[in-house]
Amino acid sequence: MYRNPLRMSSFFMHKTKLFALLITFTLFSFEAKAAEKRHGKLWRISAAVLGAVTIADVQSSVGRMEANSLLSSPNGRFSNRGIALKGLVVGGALGAQWLMIRKNPNAAPYAAGINFAAAALTGAAVVHNHMVK
């Protein structure tokens, strides 16, 4: 088939280059999938942290006077109305993020950053509420 050894070596050289290129693209694909899973895991952790801090905030505020008029009941205290609204806001935000991440997985690190920032601010409110008691 190949009478000229030079032609044969160039044929195998092209095959080798093609195979190396295929392996490289496959490895990059696996790396991208791993990064996508890692970012999704980070977002899930941030959502859990935000949920836990929100529960701690509710616990530290129940029955006390509430400065935010949207969260206070008619007598001015934090009660069922505030719990429902706070849960609706956090749940709605996490639900919107989940839909966004489903369509665009590359947005997961940004959503996780927002969740961690919101958890930090809410955690500061929890610390304040416990110090005032």
Contact 94, 50 (CB under 8 A): yes
Q: Does the pTM of the predicted model rise above 0.75?
A: no
Checking if the pLDDT of 2 tops 90, the result is no
With residue 133 as reference, give the H or E element that holds it. Answer: none
Tens-place pLDDT, residues 15-71: 666 555 555 555 555 555 555 566 789 999 999 999 999 999 999 988 888 888 888
Token pair for 90: 């956090």
The residue with tokens 């997961």 is 108
With residue 52 as reference, give the H or E element that holds it. Answer: helix 5-61
State the number of CA atoms in the 13 A half-sphere of 40 facing the CB: 14
